[in-house]
Chain A
Amino acid sequence: MTTHFENARLIDPEAGTDSLGSLTVDQGRIVALNGPAPKGATVTDCGGACLAPGIVDWGVKIGEPGERHRESFRSAGLAAAAGGVTTIIARPDTAPAIDTPETLEFVTRRAGEAPVRIRHMAALTKGRAGREMTEIGFLLDAGAIAFSDVFHVAENTKALSRAMTYARSLGALIVGHPQEPGLSAGAATTSGKFASLKGLPGVSPMAERIGLDRDLGLVEMTGARWHVDQITTTRSLASLARAKAMGLDVTAGISIHHLTLNEFDVGDYRTFFKFTPPLRSEEDRLAMVQAVADGVIDVIGSFHTPADEESKRLPFEEAASGAVGLQTLLPAALRLYHAGQLDLPTLFRALSFNPARRLGLPQGRLAEGAPADLVLFNPDTPFVLDRFALASKSKNTPFDGARMEGKVLATYVAGSLVHEAR
């Protein structure tokens, strides 16, 4: 079946353009840009709405196996489709961790319940404990797209360096979390005025830089392919830029929450604003937005982390970290567009194009031959977010009651409609 989208504002992150045009899809692929409508094609008038490559959300936690009451593949997939996310890159920090080919096969099978594409990361070390490496070769054969111990930082540098060396020989991509575990032990906030006022244990932003510097040293030593999951402080930027300038195979990401919220949003111990790493100062937030604009930070993700009410309704220090984000990633990211800080091609470079390219996926592009994974949205539609209207099983979003702009009108995976706004 051929579909012809016309009168669309095409957001092309690869070319960096934002212009009115048309796009033709056939058999799940983009076959033409700005061509005439083929005979017999279904014509969709987009009415000037934006058509962009679907979001590739890198670092999504799904509760299978182990915590299906928090999120299942189906509920996560529905949330993704409603949020314009067409590819989920799932995290291995499940219970048990995805650290064997058998568990990887299990989640791969289960992921079929979702209406969007799901690819899985596997743990780098057994049980994500940072001591013994997983069967990286078998896991690659079973379809692992990258390797990560998620928020667990290996304290045994020797063991980590061996895993990196082994992974390098197989060309495997590793995702690291930059943090000095000793300095950040027990911390619930970023140290400074807010932490002191609220009497909460804080961690210096320097802990991120120290962790990053160690990891980059190991990358230089082993030649591993490395992606830093989240860079959130100004102090880390110089190290990152230097590593890139040296030609190390390094990229970096950031969560949308660190780009749109700051430490003071925690307010009166609101645990929905507790994140790993903790929210930073407003100066850091603005510097990170600039770093995305400059391309020093490559990827924006939701770091979707479903948590049930029980694990959030606790004193701040004891409460779980993280927020759901699949469905709020795009409207939150559009805050940066509406603030005049990032244009739409730049946003989709970080949301779709860069993560797909780094992971070796053909998605993330508006180009002939690319998969027709698309999101059609109106960037200006205002709404007030109601967390109970989210498709996720868990409702822990920091944006509850927030005024946002940007409505997903339709989401397509391989040319098929997987979500349509009512």
Chain B
Amino acid sequence: MTTFRARHLLGIEQLSPQEITTVLDLADRYVDLNRRTVKQSDALAGLTQINMFFENSTRTQASFELAGKRLGADVMNMSVASSSVKKGETLIDTAMTLNAMHPDLLVVRHGASGAVNLLAQKVDCAVLNAGDGRHEHPTQALLDALTIRRAKGRIQRLTVAICGDIAHSRVARSNLILLNKMENRIRLIAPPTLMPSGVGEFGCELFDDMRKGLEGADVVMMLRLQKERMDGGFIPSEREYYHRYGLDAEKLSFAKPDAIVMHPGPMNRGVEIDGEIADDINRSVIQEQVEMGVAVRMACMDLLARNLRAERGAKAAGVMA
């Protein structure tokens, strides 16, 4: 496991293809562990994990909490969204306060792009980005990659269509970077108002016609459309969006017959995806994504903890300056 050298997991951008493969390989083993009756490991025994969510999230926070507990860490949840930050304390102050409690792993979600990078500069522990603004959501991209690899047998040379609100999506950004690094063909499908500018330069194809975009795709990734974008500001209405960009059986028929359907959740059935497609066990891997999420987060925290221990050991031995 010497191929994973990162101190923090801030984004996919900082990972090499080898590091991504290392995470996925280890996560595969944690999938097996998680399917046993007794799901305990001691990889994080004695370590303290703090989940710091400046934006509310039930699913991601639960996934990180479970991952930490299964690895034997002491896990604490701080829902910062409703605490001192509202009293005017800055992000840095909050981070310094937490740092003084000597956590080993800090899992952070924040509404501003780059906020987690900023925080990582100020603390001594390993920081995991659980989503920052519209920037990155690395564990989501890794769990998506694991899901794809297990369904397709590989995570290279696939045609992946990402569809929906690309402009405001950190999931899309992290997936785009990861799939690019692993040498896949990527198509972005969105109404032009939800397509970020300059994204064509990242090495992907852009479509505003969903049927054309889905043609021959191996993987169809749907994105959640936030309620606040449906008011006529970005798209005319929910029903017109569903008509043009909602995934239903007819549109899915343009993809390969064995194409899988993914969604990071929570889904808006009848807005971006038809309920029947979402529940079709032959096409939809949405439940697997949730399962892979726990395993991938276990793998990430395990690898970061190893590096943290090695760094501290080296420091204690006086090897480092």
- Of the candidates A193, A269, A313, A314, the one whose C-beta lies within 8 Å of that of B198 is A193
Whether B113 pairs with A269 at a CB distance below 8 angstroms is yes
Chain B residue nearest to A192 in the complex (CB):
B198
Interface flags, A191-211, vs B, CB<8A=1, else 0 = 111111111101010000000
Residues in A whose Cβ lies below 8 Å from that of B199: 193, 196
- Of the candidates A191, A192, A315, the one whose C-beta lies within 8 Å of that of B114 is A315
A310, B92: Cα distance in complex, Å: 9
Q: Which of B95-129 contact A (CB under 8 A)?
A: 110, 112-115, 117-118
Q: Is B173 an interface residue (CB 8 A)?
A: yes
Q: Which of A221-264 contact B (CB under 8 A)?
A: none
Interface centre among B132, B135, B136 (most CB of A within 10 A): B135
* Least distance between A104 CB and chain B CB atoms (Å): 34
Q: Is B90 an interface residue (CB 8 A)?
A: yes
Residues in A whose Cβ lies below 8 Å from that of B110: 315
Given A192-B197, A192-B198, A318-B112, residue A199 in contact with residue B118 (CB < 8 A): no
For the complex, would chain B's binding face be called helix, strand, loop or mixed by DSSP majority?
Answer: mixed
Interface centre among A191, A194, A314, A315 (most CB of B within 10 A): A315
Q: Which of A172-197 contact B (CB under 8 A)?
A: 191-197
Q: Is A58 an interface residue (CB 8 A)?
A: no
Whether A198 pairs with B92 at a CB distance below 8 angstroms is no
Whether B133 pairs with A199 at a CB distance below 8 angstroms is yes
A103, B114: Cα distance in complex, Å: 39
Q: Is A283 an interface residue (CB 8 A)?
A: no
Whether B90 pairs with A199 at a CB distance below 8 angstroms is no
- Of the candidates A192, A314, A316, the one whose C-beta lies within 8 Å of that of B113 is A316
A315, B108: Cα distance in complex, Å: 14
Q: Is B196 an interface residue (CB 8 A)?
A: yes
* Least distance between A267 CB and chain B CB atoms (Å): 10
Whether B90 pairs with A268 at a CB distance below 8 angstroms is no
Whether A199 pairs with B113 at a CB distance below 8 angstroms is yes
Whether B197 pairs with A196 at a CB distance below 8 angstroms is yes
Interface flags, B153-172, vs A, CB<8A=1, else 0 = 00000000000000000100
Q: Is A135 an interface residue (CB 8 A)?
A: no
Whether A199 pairs with B173 at a CB distance below 8 angstroms is yes
Q: Is A317 an interface residue (CB 8 A)?
A: yes
Interface centre among B114, B115, B134 (most CB of A within 10 A): B114
Q: Is B231 an interface residue (CB 8 A)?
A: no
* Least distance between B108 CB and chain A CB atoms (Å): 12
Whether A313 pairs with B202 at a CB distance below 8 angstroms is no
A269, B133: Cα distance in complex, Å: 13
Interface centre among B113, B135, B136 (most CB of A within 10 A): B113
Whether A195 pairs with B198 at a CB distance below 8 angstroms is yes
- Of the candidates B114, B196, B198, the one whose C-beta lies within 8 Å of that of A316 is B114
* Least distance between B203 CB and chain A CB atoms (Å): 11
Whether B198 pairs with A196 at a CB distance below 8 angstroms is yes
A195, B136: Cα distance in complex, Å: 13
Whether B91 pairs with A315 at a CB distance below 8 angstroms is yes
Whether B90 pairs with A198 at a CB distance below 8 angstroms is no
Given A191-B197, A191-B198, A313-B92, residue A199 in contact with residue B170 (CB < 8 A): yes
Q: Is B32 an interface residue (CB 8 A)?
A: no
A314, B133: Cα distance in complex, Å: 14
Q: Is B250 an interface residue (CB 8 A)?
A: no
Given A199-B132, A199-B134, A199-B170, residue A269 in contact with residue B118 (CB < 8 A): yes
Q: Is B228 an interface residue (CB 8 A)?
A: no
Q: Which of B169-212 contact A (CB under 8 A)?
A: 170, 173, 196-199, 201-202
A87, B62: Cα distance in complex, Å: 60
A118, B260: Cα distance in complex, Å: 68
A198, B117: Cα distance in complex, Å: 11
Residues in A whose Cβ lies below 8 Å from that of B136: 199
Residues in A whose Cβ lies below 8 Å from that of B135: 198-200
Chain B residue nearest to A266 in the complex (CB):
B114
Residues in B whose Cβ lies below 8 Å from that of A269: 113-114, 117-118
* Least distance between B68 CB and chain A CB atoms (Å): 25
* Least distance between A205 CB and chain B CB atoms (Å): 11
Whether B197 pairs with A314 at a CB distance below 8 angstroms is no
Residues in A whose Cβ lies below 8 Å from that of B91: 314-315
Whether B115 pairs with A202 at a CB distance below 8 angstroms is no
* Least distance between B26 CB and chain A CB atoms (Å): 27
Given A199-B136, A310-B90, residue A315 in contact with residue B118 (CB < 8 A): yes
* Least distance between A86 CB and chain B CB atoms (Å): 39
Chain A residue nearest to B177 in the complex (CB):
A197
A314, B122: Cα distance in complex, Å: 12
Whether B197 pairs with A195 at a CB distance below 8 angstroms is yes
Whether A268 pairs with B198 at a CB distance below 8 angstroms is no
Chain A residue nearest to B135 in the complex (CB):
A199
Residues in A whose Cβ lies below 8 Å from that of B133: 199-200, 315, 317
Chain A residue nearest to B112 in the complex (CB):
A315
- Of the candidates B170, B173, B198, the one whose C-beta lies within 8 Å of that of A194 is B198
A269, B110: Cα distance in complex, Å: 15
Whether A268 pairs with B114 at a CB distance below 8 angstroms is yes
A318, B111: Cα distance in complex, Å: 11
Whether B196 pairs with A196 at a CB distance below 8 angstroms is yes
A200, B134: Cα distance in complex, Å: 7
Residues in A whose Cβ lies below 8 Å from that of B197: 191-193, 195-196, 202, 204
Whether A268 pairs with B117 at a CB distance below 8 angstroms is yes
* Least distance between B57 CB and chain A CB atoms (Å): 17
Whether A198 pairs with B198 at a CB distance below 8 angstroms is no
A177, B157: Cα distance in complex, Å: 50
Interface flags, A303-333, vs B, CB<8A=1, else 0 = 0000000100111111000000000000000
Interface centre among A191, A200, A202 (most CB of B within 10 A): A200
A193, B195: Cα distance in complex, Å: 12
* Least distance between B176 CB and chain A CB atoms (Å): 10
Q: Which of B269-299 contact A (CB under 8 A)?
A: none
A194, B13: Cα distance in complex, Å: 13
- Of the candidates B114, B118, B201, B202, the one whose C-beta lies within 8 Å of that of A198 is B114
Q: A199-B170, A315-B110 are in contact. List 15 more A-B contacts (CB 8 A).
A: A192-B197, A195-B196, A196-B198, A196-B202, A197-B202, A199-B133, A200-B133, A204-B197, A313-B90, A314-B91, A314-B92, A314-B118, A315-B114, A315-B133, A317-B114
Query: What are 23 A-B contacts defined by CB distance under 8 Å?
Result: A193-B197, A193-B198, A194-B198, A196-B198, A196-B202, A199-B113, A199-B133, A199-B136, A200-B114, A200-B133, A202-B197, A268-B114, A269-B114, A269-B117, A313-B90, A313-B118, A314-B90, A314-B92, A314-B118, A315-B91, A315-B110, A315-B115, A317-B112
Query: 6 tightest A-B contacts by CB?
Result: A269-B114, A199-B135, A315-B112, A199-B134, A193-B198, A196-B196
Q: Which residues in B have some Cβ–Cβ distance to A below 8 Å? A: 90-92, 110, 112-115, 117-118, 132-136, 170, 173, 196-199, 201-202
